[in-house]
Amino acid sequence: MRLLFLILFVLVTTNIYSQGLVFDNDLYQKRILLKRDRSDKYPKSFSLKAYAPYVFAQQNSTCVAHAIAVARTIAFAYNRKLTDIKVVSANVFSPHWVYFRNKQLGDDNCSKGLNLENAINDLIVHGIPRLVSVEYKEYYPFTKTVLCNYYPDSYNNDTNEALKYKIDEVYRINDLDGIKLALSKGMPIVVGMLIPDSFTKSNSKLWIPTANDNLENSFGHSMVIVGYDDNAYGGSVEIMNSWGVNWGDHGFIRIKYSDFLKFTLGAYGFFEQFSLGSNHIIANDTSYSKDLKLSKSIDLKSKSLYFKHLKDFEPSVK
């Protein structure tokens, strides 16, 4: 199905300012397009969900930073065949690195969001360090102290580490064929969408827009596409969000192809040229990995958004 995303609406509104996504269509159109060769084939369904880390619960307008960090993590896990969620999460990359380096001047409380194109280009050139090097163990999600207008003293070391984890290429994806091709080749997809009110309130496996949902009353939001299935609900993609496990289907949701195309601004396939043994893998028996699941700084009696047993933080949505 070669239907293009929401180009006409984007041409009217070049920059979408929102709860975290700044979408620049001019820069998006200049990015390398993922093209399907005649020899390329993809199955009727494919999923990278097995390579995903724990679901994030973003703070403030940081959806772009979280989507990029999660997509980079999934690409890392897929190429190294890491499917134990504890191990994958021990190797998760840092959202704060992405936000801090790419935020707008004067954005002292992480409220203005990020330009998705700029943040992706920064990832390609400068890479990204792991969350264990940046947020751990003094900052959210390990404590209630949220990093925003401050970077820990580890910046120089993190800069060197980040260069080891650059992404090799990020492709522009224009249609469902591109979505299927990218995912089936092991590329997680960061997507920019226009999100109406019903999406923020979803608590089911499938999002169905209401009669009142339209593009004009929607806000921009960035997430990660982890799979597609031509048979599920008549054809749907599966999205991993950053609003915690109490949203959607434990942090994930399916969107029918037709609704996905209607509300999508653009999509990006993250490609890593992997060579065996190229990067160090953090095992799940480290103290960090244990704290990631059972942080002593959090009330473990409450229900989890980022973890499975904690509910101290709510998604930044209206």
Strand partners, 145: none
What confidence score (pLDDT) does residue 10 get? 44
Lookup: tokens for 8: 């006409």
| 263 Cα distance to chain centroid | 17
Find where tokens 């001019």 sit: 26
Question: What does the pLDDT average to over 138-167?
Answer: 92
The residues pairing with 219 across neighbouring beta strands, listed in sequence order, are 195
Please give the Cα distance from 232 to 183 (Å, whole number). Answer: 16
Q: What is the pTM of this model?
A: 0.88
Structure confidence by residue, pLDDT tens digits, 10-29: 433 444 445 689 999 999 99
Which tens digit of pLDDT belongs to each residue from 233-265?
999 999 999 988 888 999 999 999 999 999 999
Relative to beta strand 45-47, strand 169-173 is: unpaired
Cα separation, 86 vs 283, whole angstroms: 9
* 91-96 average pLDDT score: 95
Q: Is the peptide bond before 262 cis (omega within 30 degrees of 0)?
A: no
**Which of 22, 82, 21 minimizes the C-alpha distance to 221?**
21
Residue 169 pLDDT exceeds 60: yes
Highest-scoring range by mean pLDDT, 40-44, 146-150, 194-198, 229-233: 229-233
**Is the confidence at residue 111, as pLDDT, over 70?**
yes
Comparison of pLDDT for 85 and 127, the residue scoring more:
127
Asked if 162 contacts 131 with a C-beta cutoff of 8 angstroms, the reply is: no
What is residue 258's predicted lDDT score, i.e. its pLDDT? Answer: 96
- Lowest pLDDT segment from 49-53, 223-227, 254-258, 301-305: 301-305
Instruction: Tell me the C-alpha distance between 35 and 33, whole Å.
Output: 6
The DSSP letter of residue 22 is E
In this structure, what are the phi and psi dihedrals at residue 293, rounded to the nearest 5 degrees? -90, -35
Q: How many residues does the chain have?
A: 318
DSSP state letter for 301? T
The mean of the pLDDT values for the chain is: 84
**Residues paired with 204 in a beta bridge:** none
Domains of the chain in sequence order: 7-293 (3.90.70.10)
Mapping DSSP to helix (H, G, I), strand (E, B) and coil, where does residue 216 land? Answer: coil
pLDDT, tens only, 68-90? 999 999 999 999 999 999 889 88
Average pLDDT score over residue span 43-47: 97
CA distance 109 to 88: 29
**One-character DSSP codes across 128-159:** --BHHHHTTTTSTTSSS---SS---TTHHHHH
Average pLDDT over residues 37-52: 92
Residue 223: per-residue pLDDT: 97
Lookup: tokens for 272: 């890593």
Whole-number pLDDT of residue 198: 94
What CA–CA distance (Å, rounded) separates 49 from 53? Answer: 9
267 pLDDT higher than 80: yes
Token output for 194: 């226009």
The percentage of residues in the chain with a pLDDT greater than 70, rounded to a whole number, is: 82
- Band (pLDDT 50/70/90 cuts) for residue 285 is low
Contacts of 144 (CB under 8 A, 6+ apart): 297, 298, 312
Better-predicted residue by pLDDT, 113 or 294: 113
Q: Name the strand (E) or helix (H) holding 239.
A: strand 236-240
* Token pair belonging to 260: 């996905």
The answer to whether the CB of 89 falls within 8 A of the CB of 292 is yes
